[in-house]
Amino acid sequence: MALNRKQQMTIFITVVLTVYILTNLWLWFKGRRALSGAGINTVWYNAIFIALASAFVIGKLLENSFTNVFIDIVNIIGGFWLAFMLYGFLAWLAADILMLLQKPFRLITPDLIPKLRLWLFAGISSATILLIIIGSVNAVSPVITRYTIEVSRKPDTLHEPMHIVAVSDIHLGSIIRKRSMRHLSEMITGEEPDLVLFLGDLLDGSIGPVLRGDLLSCLSIPAPRFGIFAITGNHEYIGDFAKSVSYIESKGIRVLKDEIVSLENGVSIIGRLDRTAMHSPGVGRKPLEQLLAESDTTAPLILLDHQPYELSALASTPVDMQLSGHTHNGQLWPLNLITDRLYELSYGYRMFGKTHVIVSSGFGLWGPRMRIGTRPEILSVTLTGKSE
């Protein structure tokens, strides 16, 4: 029997919390054994560990009901703790494997093990904190990734190149705030785009932190020739969907909800609702075939779809280019190795048949305010036409 959306979410949350709790218990045990084995009192360690390990869950729970600077700080600390968990777990796992491998050879005598554990605790903790600092700097240093895409055109369309700036996964909220939006505004303005597209997850979830600072008001760019459009991502469904969309559109950004727009130069844009809509009561999402049937498929056709699923199916469609995000390119190495397995294209550019597909790593982030092995970016796409 198929599970409904509520049952699926319950199972998902249960699994995530179980992994979260077990990982924290393991890390706590590693640290406590290292300290107590060296004769160090662990009362202070227990208190700090509990506070840090609780920050992420407390921050997310409170964010839905309250919004203030204190909760923002708790969310930031909680995000960093997620990264500490990831790299702390990997480092201790590697250390344990090495300890097991040396056992048959007795390279380390039993009397040295307590001292070694203490050095491992200090070394792993210090290295992880240094990695978090490096990742934090990387996270606020976005780049511009440029592509030139040539598509077929009718004689009366796309007479001159069209310059598009596309931005995915900003995740405005407790962590990504005004300074990031000002920086984004400068980057977009510097590109002098004809068209600006937001590829979903413009907001992080709860709209409270966004409204408190009116964060989208900090997006200040000259009006592009062909306008500013957005699509929804999965995070717009986490909070109040209707309120989130209404807020975005109040800033002059048209949100395409399974809609088609024909631009003055003959280019058509299809903006899809995120896949989450398929599991949302009373919302739904139109099949791509239906949207194509409603479009002028002889014109250059751009498809906006937040999550890059079913890309191979594009080969049998008249879509010229799809722009997506969602994956963050893993955000933290080695998670990009997982996203590479989950998606046909988790980052970058590839052609599927005659369809050009670009998946962005995103401008913002989720959870830890850091990136390791990936870069935040905006897309700068020059669309040119060739006569059929």
Is 188:165 a contact under the CB 8 Å cutoff?
A: yes
Q: What is the pLDDT at residue 158?
A: 82
Helical axes 5-37 vs 113-139, angle rounded to 10°: 130
* Adjacent-strand bridge partners of 386: 152
| Diameter over CA atoms, the chain | 82
**For residue range 33-76, what is the model confidence (pLDDT) as tens digits?**
999 998 999 999 999 999 999 999 999 888 877 788 889 999 99
For residue 15, give the nearest of 5, 7, 26 by alpha carbon. 7
Unique residue bearing structure tokens 């949350």: 13
For residue 202, which phi and psi values (nearest 5 degrees)? -65, -35
Q: What is the DSSP string of 277-302?
A: GGGSTTT----HHHHHHTS-TTS-EE
What end-to-end distance do the CA atoms of the chain give, in Å? Answer: 50
Q: What is the pLDDT at residue 48?
A: 96
Q: What is the pLDDT at residue 284?
A: 81
Q: What is the pLDDT at residue 8?
A: 67
Q: What is the pLDDT at residue 108?
A: 80
Torsion of CA 47, 53, 59, 62, to 10 degrees: -70
Q: What is the pLDDT at residue 384?
A: 92
Q: What is the pLDDT at residue 244?
A: 93
Residues in the chain, pLDDT under 50: none
Q: How far is CA 263 from the centre of its chain?
A: 29
Domain ranges of the chain: 5-138, 143-387
Task: Look at the domain 143-387 and name its fold.
Answer: Purple Acid Phosphatase; chain A, domain 2 (3.60.21)
Is 74:367 a contact under the CB 8 Å cutoff?
A: no
* Adjacent-strand bridge partners of 195: 164
Q: pTM score, two decimals?
A: 0.92
Helical axes 69-102 vs 5-37, angle rounded to 10°: 60
- How distant, in Å, are the alpha carbons of 189, 219, 345 from that of 321? 23, 26, 14
